[in-house]
Amino acid sequence: MTQRHILGCFIRLGVLLPSSILVFPRIGVAQICTGSLGDPVVKLTFDKTTTIGASSYVPPSAYTYIASSCPNDGYYTITNYTTGCFNNSWLTVSADHTGGGNYMLVNASYQPGDFFISTVTDLCPNTTYEFSAWVLNVMQPFFPSIRPNLTFRIEKPDGTVLASYDSGDVPVQGSPTWVQYGFLFTTPVDNAQIVLRLRNNAPGGQGNDLAIDDIAFRPCGAKIMAGIQNNTTDTIDVCEGNTNSYTFSGNASSQYQSPVYQWQLSKDEGITWTDIPGATETTYMRLPTAARGKYWYRLTVVDASVAGITSCRIASNLLIINVHPLPVADAGPDRVYVKGYPVTLSAVASGEDISLTWSPDAYMDDPALIQPTVTPAKDITYTLAVQSAFNCRNKDSVNIRVVDGIYVPTAFTPNSDGRNDSWRVPFLDVGLGADVKVFNRWGQLVYHVSSAIVSWDGKLNGQPQAAGTYVYLITFKDHKMPDLKGTFTLIR
* Domain residue extents for the chain: 17-221, 224-324, 328-403, 411-490
Least confident of 46-55, 166-175, 385-394: 46-55
Least confident of 201-205, 240-244, 394-398: 201-205
Architecture (CATH level 2) of domain 328-403: Sandwich (2.60)
Least confident of 178-192, 346-360, 463-477: 178-192
Q: What integer best gives the mean pLDDT of the chain?
A: 87
Least confident of 156-170, 186-200, 256-270: 186-200
| Percent of the residues in the chain that have a pLDDT greater than 70, as a whole number | 91
Architecture (CATH level 2) of domain 411-490: Sandwich (2.60)
pLDDT for residue 23 is more than 50: no
Judge contact between 268 and 229, C-beta under 8 A.
Answer: no
pLDDT given at position 106: 92
| Percent of the residues in the chain that have a pLDDT greater than 90, as a whole number | 62
Q: What is the CATH number of domain 17-221?
A: 2.60.120.260
Q: What is the band of 5 on the pLDDT scale with cuts at 50, 70, 90? A: very low
pLDDT for residue 10 is more than 50: no
Judge contact between 176 and 97, C-beta under 8 A.
Answer: no
Q: How many CB atoms lie within 10 A of CB 267?
A: 15
Asked if the domains at 17-221 and 411-490 fall in one CATH topology, the answer is no
- Average pLDDT estimate for 312-330: 96
pLDDT given at position 48: 61
- Average pLDDT estimate for 469-475: 97
pLDDT for residue 418 is more than 80: yes
Give residue-wise pLDDT tens across range 117-139: 888 887 888 888 999 999 999 99
pLDDT for residue 1 is more than 70: no
pLDDT for residue 29 is more than 70: no
pLDDT given at position 60: 66
Q: What is the band of 455 on the pLDDT scale with cuts at 50, 70, 90? A: very high
Q: What is the CATH number of domain 224-324?
A: 2.60.40.10
- Average pLDDT estimate for 425-430: 90
**How much is the pTM?**
0.73
Handedness of CA 272, 276, 280, 286 (dihedral sign): negative
pLDDT given at position 290: 77
